[in-house]
Structure 1
């Protein structure tokens, strides 16, 4: 068993072991169940239920004028008819016979079937009393079931996708404020059964998949009065402590998936699931972590780790990149769990703005330093969780909601033949030796165990982290950030910059967003090159990259970034 880079079986097992012994056993159990024909017995074909699927609005829900205007502008665009056709040859195959990545990038296919428009349509129906919004929601659900018969084709291949649909269906019902009609109960039952069918596999991934599925079952079970409530609550109680840290870190070191997991947990609590005090504390800690990396004026969050644009519960049409509704929802869920249409929609009091200065979560693999509206976010080595990208010691610098030093994003999980995704070390603002990723890549979503964290400091104006070959210090004074990198011989540093015009200087570059000056204790090869950047999933563009290749005996590079 070797990967594309010739990684050994031992390296793969070590990486999987970081998910935990229980996760490995669940994966084995799932594979045995699949080989024994369990899927066909568990989920045979079912008839699609008929609507109505959602309750009638329980009275008017007033919204502030700016919120209502944004909602109505966004929901009219989102409510346009969509096609659920995939163009895949396995469209009519049983769900368990579909290989998601066999025919292009399935994530692009799944987006349209997530029922993401339902919460916004429900909120518009409550806010205006106009029947057209509820009619549009019913048409959307009926069109999905007509095009995607239960348990057939790619749209039913993933339990997490079924869980996302279940969250949005139930959230729409809760926002409308009525009891679920028979059609809605039947559809929710189909979705919940799909989640339960491969729950062991989703939990074995030890990431957002299991938490989202458990939260969906807990919240839906609370709304419908089914046993799924207790099942979801039990799994959340077992899994949330091991998938999070006391400082709010999450097992999947990704700002996008951190927010996704937080939204799912908040949904469960606001839908009526019972979360014990320790779980609410973890929910609050996850919200505090997200708040520390969110720009308070724009809601922007820097990209870190996998980023496929997922946004749950965008009921106010704030867009997938505004994390402020998630913070409002999580704050309400941690403080006073229970059904609240406005809180579920992400409307209500904001959490306090994050404090300036440094913070660190070595167990979760991140550290940060905030100065005014500028954030430095550092990906630490070591930690308790598996690495998902080759991003060790990556540094993002976000100023007033714009990433000045940046992660590349994801582009595609399954790129065309001859292309590669953007998870490798070359697509991060860190150091690389030769062409090798740090840590070594073992599979599509699996990397080897990262190097051990050997030193860590976080103070009011300084961060420092060190591992085997890289010691990085980040300091701020006024509008200037200084990054000092002490490196093993032969490294190449990359400073990934925003799109735009950058003028080459003798010691670096200067543009509208920042000026970078580089000095070193020996010779370096300084060049302005290009790299890939993915502003949205499925898209990529070229951006400028300042590369610093150490030559001779050079060991230390100092980079000063002056912000406007």
Structure 2
């Protein structure tokens, strides 16, 4: 940390200590002005009412889905301060005095925080709007009242993280609108007036809290963007206090600045985590949508950056709709408006951007209009969707030099597609690179929309350190590991110390024979420095990838070349090489390092052969590791032949 950050963190510490005796807290919420509220920004109707009703009925029955816990009986309303995973009851003391990173104190904080984001409140509000059944509106009120009772300001873990408050405000804004706004039947009569005032008082406290605790300096990543989002949406929706105009102006300026700062000009979120790119895109989309409904959307540069972000997602997505799981992912949604089976956050965002930017190519990648976009874009969403012309052959952007990603491949968007996505990016954003993985020069491969070589995902955050470290390690990615160390040095669950720097040497994505070449310096920190240079050549006619890894050094080192295969792949050793049979596609692989290849599948010792498609869930896959002992500069060449004819049909 530099001097400015140290001073800021000291100030934050002093602010927290002062709050223990009441300084800086809201002593009494000023009476709100009820003369004006935000304009409607959610309309339309869902296509799949049955799925929405099923989700709302599950909530009322006390069955919740929280990460890996599906349909768990948490009750309705739940115990908001009890971790549903471990059963730990978090202490009811000043929120800013709670160390929420300590599992012994709060349990798994992700599980504790998630229900209090109140996405399920929106589920109930949507169900009421779609069906008119009063039990859903009554359930929404009961849920809120219970939260107000159990989570009094400023006590408990739900008054610790500004981002959590911000996401809650966003969902409150949607619920308020869906339940009828200021004219809702829930606000009629003496009890209704009391409930409305109680809700507004909590909104004011949320805004005041966020304003006092923005994430700054090395923490100014998606958290800061989300905090601005929550403050902006709340100030627009509830302009009820003298501070509201100042809060809105501050948040709008912050969103404009961070949209350009946190995302490269060529459309890559600087956290180097594709799921967080989705989250930031969703925040940008929702803020513009709500601002536009209230008379002022965001600037042309802001929207241009959002469009570039969508182009990157479109480039990564293969013909089967798969997107590499690069970097961290926590499965978060800002607000849940779709309940269809097989719903994809990436396809949904591309559908939004197709409508917003009139992009037929985004429409083709999205495939269909979903209920989220029907709610957002209103009654004419379907007509606007249909009016977009049919797009021509897919021609994705193949180079993102600022973001650090490069494509090779052929026949994009067709059943014969081959798509190779290569990571030559920085480790992550800002000094701690919180959500990056040690994956420099790794790549993923899909053929015909079937994933073959994959990124294994994330699995854990605050708990299970062994697994947290494994899933972001070099050994969990399709690249070279030296002396059993990671390219970059882990410093904590969300911190890296020494960081690998990747650099592009050349890239040619046209023609029958394409190539990429890059290098990184992550292993130059060793006592005998090792440089890693990788060249990937793709012969589109022969369906052949040739991967050449050059390890530049003077002394002896242990080298491990790792390959991670998708769940549908059966991997066998044959003649010193590998035979990989997918569901419809196959690979034949050989390596010049020799026959010392190890297969791992769901292994704990050594760790290897795992994938995590969703947060806190993992399953076995096959991982192949070619081992070698080298002395001095050495070159390894891996041949990967892509073919048809897997072992199983989907």
After superposition, residues 3-22 of structure 1 pair within 5 angstroms as none
> 2:486 is matched with which residue: 427, 430, 437?
437
Q: Distance in 2 between matches of 1:484 and 1:329?
A: 38
Aligned twin of 2:615: 537
SS in 1 for 2:457: coil
For the 8 Å contact 2:272–2:426, the answer to whether it is kept is no
Aligned twin of 1:322: 345
- Greater shift in the superposed pair: 546-555 or 134-143: 546-555
Cα drift, residue 261 of structure 1: 0.8
For the 8 Å contact 1:429–1:494, the answer to whether it is kept is yes
- Greater shift in the superposed pair: 218-227 or 27-36: 27-36
SS in 2 for 1:534: strand
- Structure 1 residues 259, 167: CA separation in 2 closer, same or farther (over 3 Å shift)? same
Aligned twin of 1:68: 49
- Structure 1 residues 248, 193: CA separation in 2 closer, same or farther (over 3 Å shift)? same
**Structure 1 residue 365 corresponds to structure 2 residue 443:** no
- Structure 1 residues 78, 60: CA separation in 2 closer, same or farther (over 3 Å shift)? same
**Structure 1 residue 523 corresponds to structure 2 residue 594:** yes
For the 8 Å contact 2:40–2:177, the answer to whether it is kept is no
- Greater shift in the superposed pair: 522-531 or 369-378: 369-378
Aligned twin of 1:502: 571
Aligned twin of 2:627: 549
Deviation track 1:225-277 (CA, whole Å, cap 9, x = no partner) reads: 22222111011122221111111111211111111111111111111264111
Q: Distance in 2 between matches of 1:46 and 1:524?
A: 73
Q: Distance in 2 between matches of 1:291 and 1:449?
A: 29
**Structure 1 residue 416 corresponds to structure 2 residue 397:** no
TM-score (norm 1): 0.83
For the 8 Å contact 1:121–1:134, the answer to whether it is kept is yes
SS in 1 for 2:492: coil
Deviation track 1:21-54 (CA, whole Å, cap 9, x = no partner) reads: 7xx735631332313534442236889x9xxxxx
- Structure 1 residues 431, 561: CA separation in 2 closer, same or farther (over 3 Å shift)? farther
CA RMSD of aligned residues (A): 3.6
SS in 2 for 1:33: helix
Cα drift, residue 167 of structure 1: 1.2
After superposition, residues 281-360 of structure 1 pair within 5 angstroms as 281-295=304-318, 298=321, 300-318=322-340, 321-332=344-355, 342-343=375-376, 355-357=394-396, 359-360=398-399
Structure 1 stretches of 5 or more lacking a match? 1-12, 14-20, 50-54
- Greater shift in the superposed pair: 452-461 or 342-351: 342-351
Cα drift, residue 296 of structure 1: 6.5
**Structure 1 residue 558 corresponds to structure 2 residue 639:** yes
> 1:163 is matched with which residue: 162, 166, 174?
166
Cα drift, residue 136 of structure 1: 2.4
Q: Distance in 2 between matches of 1:130 and 1:315?
A: 18
SS in 2 for 1:305: coil
Cα drift, residue 203 of structure 1: 5.8
After superposition, residues 216-255 of structure 1 pair within 5 angstroms as 216-225=230-239, 226-227=244-245, 228-255=247-274
Aligned twin of 1:193: 208
Q: Distance in 2 between matches of 1:360 and 1:333?
A: 24
Aligned twin of 2:604: none
- Structure 1 residues 108, 384: CA separation in 2 closer, same or farther (over 3 Å shift)? closer
- Structure 1 residues 218, 508: CA separation in 2 closer, same or farther (over 3 Å shift)? same
For the 8 Å contact 1:167–1:267, the answer to whether it is kept is no
**Structure 1 residue 493 corresponds to structure 2 residue 561:** yes
- Structure 1 residues 476, 176: CA separation in 2 closer, same or farther (over 3 Å shift)? farther
After superposition, residues 118-157 of structure 1 pair within 5 angstroms as 118-157=121-160
Cα drift, residue 537 of structure 1: 1.1
TM-score (norm 2): 0.73
- Structure 1 residues 417, 425: CA separation in 2 closer, same or farther (over 3 Å shift)? closer
After superposition, residues 261-276 of structure 1 pair within 5 angstroms as 261-272=280-291, 274-276=297-299
Q: Which has the higher contact order (CA 8 A, sep 6+)?
A: 1
Q: Distance in 2 between matches of 1:315 and 1:93?
A: 34
- Greater shift in the superposed pair: 274-283 or 180-189: 180-189
